[in-house]
Structure 1
Amino acid sequence: RPAVVTRTLTELTGPRRGVVELPVRLMWSSDRTFDLADPDQLLWMYENVLRESTRADDLRTLIDGRTLRRVWPLLNLPRGVRQAWEARHRGLRAA
């Protein structure tokens, strides 16, 4: 399935702090909560959302564009997901 990518990074207005619980459609595990103050949990959440999302609305509400730019080089993503995002948002390649 092709990766879902938003048109702009500025439309990604998800939380920058706090605890986030992902919906079951994005993470099937019973432990779906992530403390964004913990760098490892933040990366794990972003990886799951970017990999599993089938709707741009999920991306808009769960991912923050500034944070995504900052952590982009650290994310462990499937090649297709990374390529789709970098093709649309060329600035991520340089991040």
Structure 2
Amino acid sequence: MLPSRLIGAADRIPASLTLLDGPEHGRVALPVRLAWSGPVEFDVSDPRERLTLYCLLLDCGQRDDIVRYVNAELLRRDWPRIRRLTARRLVALWERRLPDLSTA
């Protein structure tokens, strides 16, 4: 049996939205360890590409990746869509750590 991908997920969530320092626009190129299958570059200005990027980072990224690539304001804006596309248990962890997201 494979271990749950949620093991350690709470430790990967930054302590505050203010720590998220990702770009507001432009392209982001992820390292191969994160984007080993599918696209490696994402246009943050494109809502669909950004949604794919953020879901990937929330699911697989380490805290440093999330801080580096996720923009707090864009995450707040996209959170209602991310909630529908991400595992409920992972969403609950994020909203518990960052309660401002649950009001987005």
Structures share fold, TM-score greater than 0.5? yes
Of Structure 1 and Structure 2, the greater helix share is in 2
Question: Superposition pairs for residues 1-95 of structure 1, below 5 Å?
Answer: 1-3=7-9, 4-53=12-61, 55-75=62-82, 76-95=85-104
Tell me the TM-score normalised to structure 1 length: 0.91
SS at structure 2 position matched to 1:27: coil
- Paired residue type of 1:42: R
Q: Give runs of ≥4 in structure 1 deviating > 3 Å.
A: none
**Structure 1: segments with no counterpart, 5+ residues:** none
Query: Distance in 1 between the 2:26 and 2:34 partners?
Result: 19
The corresponding residue for 2:3 is: none
State the number of aligned residues: 94
Unpaired segments ≥5 residues, structure 2: 1-6
CA change 1:47–1:30 in 2 (3 A) is closer
Calculate percent identity across the aligned residue pairs.
Answer: 37
TM-score where L is the length of structure 2: 0.84
Determine which structure has more spread, i.e. the larger CA radius of gyration.
2
One-letter amino acid matched to 1:51: D
Q: 1:52, 1:74 → 2: CA distance?
A: 18
CA contact (8 A) 1:49 1:59 kept: yes
Per-residue CA distance 1:29-88 (angstroms, 9 max, x = gap): 2521111121100100000011001x2111110101111111101111112221111001
